[in-house]
Chains A and B, each alone.
Chain A
Amino acid sequence: MRLRGSALVMTLYILFLLVPIYWLLNMSLKTNTEITSTFTLFPKELTFRNYAVILTDPSWYMGYVNSIIYVVLNTVISITVALPAAYAFSRYSFMGDKHLFFWLLTNRMSPPAVFALPFFQLYSSIGLFDTHIAVALAHCLFNVPLAVWILEGFMRGVPKEIDETAYIDGYGFWRFFLRIFMPLIASGIGVAAFFCFMFSWVELLLSRTLTSVNAKPIAAVMTRTVSASGMDWGVLAAAGVLTIIPGALVIWFVRNYIAKGFALGRV
């Protein structure tokens, strides 16, 4: 009985999530005339022209490549620097730890709009403007604090006795950290990496400000569809559909880490 209730709730919720996405997919397979002139639940004249436009034009598909490069860079940097810091926050108390932790979080809270112009000046002056690494570093602003925060939460759930036992058994810090501790919080790393990927992938304001040609992200390329001849709804919808795919792939890989949960109590 309860199980059936759950299934119903989930079905309704997922339908609510998917219908707008379906509408986007539906539009991406229609011609512009069909979109603006008639109202149809399914494309009447199925067309792949909108996708062909994107996949044959380098200024379109390079947008995806650029986005993926800086998002991956950012995720790697964020997780690498956040791991030891999160361990420090979860295990040790040190001078100013609480203030530091909260100060880190404040960076997550700052409106990106505030930082756009200073970032532009900073990265231009050191010659990093329009590079992938510039966007990756800029996105560290909100991703590093988030990664520290999420990882700290997961690490707190691992009993401290494990650390102590490992040290007694003669493990050094890094060997213990890499061989024993990281597998224990694998689900936490998965979740943190997922969120870093996500927030970097969807951010538009900073990535658009810091790039012009070589590292232009897909979200900025998409604003091109507003042209003199009106909105190119079909191509816009197709580009939107394509932005969903990399994210869907990532969550598919991470799902086991989240789903497995962490082995708390089973160690």
Chain B
Amino acid sequence: MDKTLNNKAWFLVLPVLVVVAFSAVIPLMTVVNYSVNDTFGNNDFFWAGLEWFEEAVTSDRIHAALGRQILFSAIILAIEVPLGIYIALNMPKQGFWSSLCLVLMALPLLIPFNVVGTIWQIFGRVDIGLLGHTLAALGLDYNYVRDPFAAWATIIVMDVWHWTSLVALLCYAGLQSIPNAFYQAARIDQASRWKVFRYIELPKMQGVLLIAVLLRFMDSFMIYTEPFVVTGGGPGNSTTFLSIDLVKQAVGQFDLGPAAAFSIMYFLVILLVSWVFYTVMTNLDKAEGQ
């Protein structure tokens, strides 16, 4: 859509700027300040320059956490996005069943993160959990406390359980905006199910799909509470993702400087990947529009 050039539109954006400046810019400046200083308590700060950044770039521990984090986010996106689209396509379009599905699917989204962790921690336990007990009864050697593979599987299933509905609900909202006339036209042209999906539903879902992919990427990349509650980052370090590592450093050891430097770089990585996503999807949008 062509947009009118109008610099007065800044006034409409102003309230957002004020709120976000207060809640983001000022705190972020504080983090930048920490990242170039060293402190021995008592609010005494000494200039440390780029020392903390060098330390973070060369740290094997952080490299390992980053690798695990990338693997985790990749698996999550590969499972949740196609599954979410598939579920959205299978949802009833209207009436009582559609309302019921919406409400039930939204349930996992509205459970506080630590409760989600608690649910799966209990659910996967061999002694008191349904999942752990069933798997043990089937003769599988499943124990997420000792076995890294089981720990990963538990966390991934938990995340799929927790967040697939978000992708599905967004896609569903996108699908609902397609006028019936489009489907009627497709029926007249005798388009196959796949073609309806590829040429009608997918382009119409593109905007919401972009939101869904970005949200899932960012949230899975920042995941903290759920794996922390379930595995505490273990066994060993096998499920220590970036946030867990960061909080261990910042709160556990109270190393403000390294933690701040680490979080700035962490933030930049997320920024970079999101920018790539955003640009690719917007260009795709333009190309299809022509």
B16 touches A85 (CB 8 A): yes
Residue in A39, A156, A219 whose beta carbon sits within 8 Å of that of B115 in the complex: A219
Q: Does B250 reach chain A (CB closer than 8 Å)? A: yes
A88 touches B173 (CB 8 A): no
Q: How far, in whole Å, are A104 and B218 apart by their CA atoms in the complex?
A: 14
Q: Does B50 reach chain A (CB closer than 8 Å)? A: no
Q: Does A129 reach chain B (CB closer than 8 Å)? A: no
B contact residues vs A (CB 8 Å cutoff): 1, 3-10, 12-13, 15-16, 18-20, 22-24, 26-28, 30-31, 86-87, 90-92, 94, 98-99, 101-115, 118-120, 122-123, 127-131, 133, 161, 165, 169, 172-173, 176-177, 179, 181, 207-208, 211, 214-215, 218, 222, 224-225, 242-243, 246-247, 250, 256, 260, 263-264, 266-267, 270-271, 274-275, 278
B103 touches A85 (CB 8 A): no
Residue in B10, B12, B105 whose beta carbon sits within 8 Å of that of A14 in the complex: B105
Q: How far, in whole Å, are A121 and B161 apart by their CA atoms in the complex?
A: 36
Whole-angstrom distance between the Cβ of B13 and the nearest chain A Cβ: 5
Q: How far, in whole Å, are A187 and B247 apart by their CA atoms in the complex?
A: 38
Which 8 residue pairs of A and B lie closest in terms of their CB atoms, listed nearest first?
A: A247-B110, A261-B176, A118-B27, A265-B179, A88-B12, A92-B9, A118-B30, A88-B9
Q: How far, in whole Å, are A201 and B214 apart by their CA atoms in the complex?
A: 21
A107 touches B20 (CB 8 A): yes
Q: How far, in whole Å, are A12 and B185 apart by their CA atoms in the complex?
A: 32
With A23-B130, A111-B263, A204-B112 as known contacts, state yes or no: A137 contacts B16, CB within 8 Å. no
Q: How far, in whole Å, are A138 and B15 apart by their CA atoms in the complex?
A: 15
With A10-B91, A81-B16, A261-B176 as known contacts, state yes or no: A243 contacts B5, CB within 8 Å. no
- Which residues of chain B are within 8 angstroms of A145 by Cβ–Cβ distance? 20
A107 touches B24 (CB 8 A): yes
Whole-angstrom distance between the Cβ of B86 and the nearest chain A Cβ: 7
- Which residues of chain A are within 8 angstroms of B1 by Cβ–Cβ distance? 156, 160
Q: How far, in whole Å, are A163 and B270 apart by their CA atoms in the complex?
A: 37
Interface string of A89-124 (1 = CB under 8 A from B): 101111101001010111111111111011101100
Residue in A6, A84, A205 whose beta carbon sits within 8 Å of that of B12 in the complex: A84
Q: How far, in whole Å, are A255 and B246 apart by their CA atoms in the complex?
A: 38
- Which residues of chain A are within 8 angstroms of B92 by Cβ–Cβ distance? 6, 10
Whole-angstrom distance between the Cβ of A257 and the nearest chain B Cβ: 9
Interface string of A236-252 (1 = CB under 8 A from B): 11011001101110111
B267 touches A21 (CB 8 A): no
Q: List 17 A-B contacts (CB under 8 A).
A: A23-B130, A24-B119, A39-B128, A85-B16, A106-B274, A113-B250, A115-B27, A137-B22, A137-B23, A153-B207, A153-B211, A198-B106, A205-B225, A219-B112, A222-B114, A244-B111, A259-B94
Interface string of A43-69 (1 = CB under 8 A from B): 000000000000000000000000000
A contact residues vs B (CB 8 Å cutoff): 5-6, 9-10, 13-14, 16-21, 23-24, 27, 35-36, 39, 41, 77, 80-82, 84-85, 87-89, 91-95, 97, 100, 102, 104-115, 117-119, 121-122, 137-138, 140-141, 144-146, 148-150, 153, 156-157, 160, 187, 191, 194, 198, 201-205, 218-219, 222-223, 233, 236-237, 239-240, 243-244, 246-248, 250-252, 255-256, 258-262, 264-266
A140 touches B122 (CB 8 A): no
- Which residues of chain A are within 8 angstroms of B114 by Cβ–Cβ distance? 204, 219, 222-223
Q: How far, in whole Å, are A203 and B103 apart by their CA atoms in the complex?
A: 20
Q: How far, in whole Å, are A90 and B43 apart by their CA atoms in the complex?
A: 46
Residue in B15, B30, B215 whose beta carbon sits within 8 Å of that of A81 in the complex: B15
Q: How far, in whole Å, are A29 and B16 apart by their CA atoms in the complex?
A: 45
Residue in A92, A203, A246 whose beta carbon sits within 8 Å of that of B6 in the complex: A92
- Which residues of chain B are within 8 angstroms of A6 by Cβ–Cβ distance? 90-92
B271 touches A252 (CB 8 A): no
A93 touches B5 (CB 8 A): yes
- Which residues of chain B are within 8 angstroms of A24 by Cβ–Cβ distance? 119, 122
B173 touches A247 (CB 8 A): no
B129 touches A94 (CB 8 A): no
Q: How far, in whole Å, are A198 and B166 apart by their CA atoms in the complex?
A: 11
- Which residues of chain B are within 8 angstroms of A23 by Cβ–Cβ distance? 119, 122-123, 129-130
- Which residues of chain B are within 8 angstroms of A140 by Cβ–Cβ distance? 19-20, 23
A138 touches B23 (CB 8 A): yes
Residue in B13, B106, B208, B224 whose beta carbon sits within 8 Å of that of A113 in the complex: B224
- Which residues of chain A are within 8 angstroms of B103 by Cβ–Cβ distance? 248, 251-252, 255
B123 touches A110 (CB 8 A): no
- Which residues of chain B are within 8 angstroms of A191 by Cβ–Cβ distance? 173
- Which residues of chain B are within 8 angstroms of A137 by Cβ–Cβ distance? 19, 22-23
Q: How far, in whole Å, are A222 and B92 apart by their CA atoms in the complex?
A: 37
Residue in A85, A119, A149, A246 whose beta carbon sits within 8 Å of that of B27 in the complex: A119
**Most chain A CB within a 10 A radius of its CB, from B26, B103, B110, B260:** B110
